[in-house]
Amino acid sequence: MPSSQIILYLHGFRSSPQSFKAHLFAQHMAALGLEKNYLCPQLPASPKAAIQLAQHLLQNYVSEQITLVGSSLGGYYATWLAEQLGCRAVLLNPMVHIPYDMDQFIGATTTYHSNEVFEFKRDYVDELRALATEQTTQPARYFLFAATGDELLDWRDMEAHYPGARQHIIQGSDHGLTGFEQYLDEVLAFCGIDAGATQ
């Protein structure tokens, strides 16, 4: 992969760069000597601010250099950003619609990995609605991983939301995509990285 390319990982709601999949990515990229080609920031609670942060991190790159990897809520963000930027996106059990019960998260809550308290404000639900992507325009730029055992989101909604895209429907597993390490090289190949050639 040319040094000018970049992978931006967008974690899910209440998650962080310390999540299982984000950590796997970081370790794998470092093992390939490509740690400088991987970004995984802590996203703000505000969806609008999270998008602005992603746009800032990517401002010096053109679409052909960028691959977004989005998990859960991060997949919702990645889809919107990919449509705006015209770049590739890998979706990992992505949220494709605003859950009807999103209001239940309004108020103080904590991150999974540090128990740090943050506030999810009522305005954030409206910010999420503003990022809705009803349909994608270039299916070949998307790669969906959806687990039939996802306990939080329905994989059939994910499958239907990305018609014509490359899709890997995983039988079983869970929302966190346990066992995801076996798919890393497949994901990196979609990003334009030949893991065998870099080692």
Q: Are 89 and 68 in contact (CB under 8 A)?
A: yes
- Domain positions in the chain are 6-198
Nearest C-alpha neighbor of 11 from the set 52, 64, 68, 63: 68
Distance CA 93, CA 175 (A): 6
9-68: pLDDT as tens digits: 999 998 999 999 999 999 999 999 999 999 999 999 999 999 999 999 999 999 999 999
Q: Are 148 and 169 in contact (CB under 8 A)?
A: yes
Q: What is the pLDDT of residues 57-105, one digit of tens each?
A: 999 999 999 999 999 999 999 999 999 999 999 999 999 998 777 778 8
6-198 CATH pick, 3.30.70.600, 3.40.50.1820, 1.10.150.20, 1.20.1740.10:
3.40.50.1820
Quote the pTM value: 0.93
Please state, in angstroms and rounded to a whole number, the distance separating the CA atoms of residues 106 and 77: 19
